[in-house]
Amino acid sequence: MDWTATLPMKMTQGFDAAVGYELLEVTDDLVRARAEVRDEIKQQAGLVHGGVYSSIAESIASIGTYVVVSRDGRTAQGMSNQTSFLRPILEGHIHAEARARHKGRTTWVWEVDFTDDQGRLCALTRMTIAVR
């Protein structure tokens, strides 16, 4: 059964539920997600908390890797997460698009672009995932 047929899917478990994003698309090279900006994901100054971008990147790069490597019984685990914050988001949605740049035997590397509803680039993550 292909669970990706059930997309879009709202995350309802664990920390993903706190972040509150929706998984939109999962292919072998690309994962897209979207989160609605709510008070629960902001920091005190009214902006989306930087940790929200890091958390979405972590989740969707892990999912994207796992979907592929689990086919031959391997697992995926986050190894490093480098997020740069370029422009704050105050309202609307966070749009995340993760692209696999390297699919090695022991590590995968993803680059994640975050944009706002106007399509402006707001954050960038490079995520390294260990495969075992």
- Which active-site residues does the annotation give? 58
112 binds its own copies (CB under 8 A): no
- Comparing C-alpha atoms, which of 94, 67, 61, 93 is closest to residue 80? 61
Amino acid sitting at position 122: C
Binding of residue 78 to its own copies (CB under 8 A)? yes
Q: Which stretch binds its own copies (CB under 8 A): 1-9, 23-31, 36-44, 90-98?
A: 36-44
CA distance 32 to 102: 17
56 binds its own copies (CB under 8 A): yes
**Measured from the CB of residue 109, what is the shortest distance to its own copies in angstroms?**
6
Look at the block and give the residue holding tokens 């005190």.
44
**Of positions 26, 33, 37, 52, contacts its own copies by CB under 8 A:** 52
Q: Which amino acid is at 114?
A: F
Nearest distance in Å: CB 27, its own copies: 18
**How many CA within 13 A on the CB side of residue 18?**
9
Considering just the CA atoms, what is the radius of gyration of the chain in Å?
A: 14
Instruction: Summarize as ranges the residues that interact with its own copies (CB under 8 A).
Output: 13-19, 39-45, 49-52, 54-59, 62, 75, 77-88, 101-102, 104, 106-107, 109, 111, 121, 124, 126, 128, 130
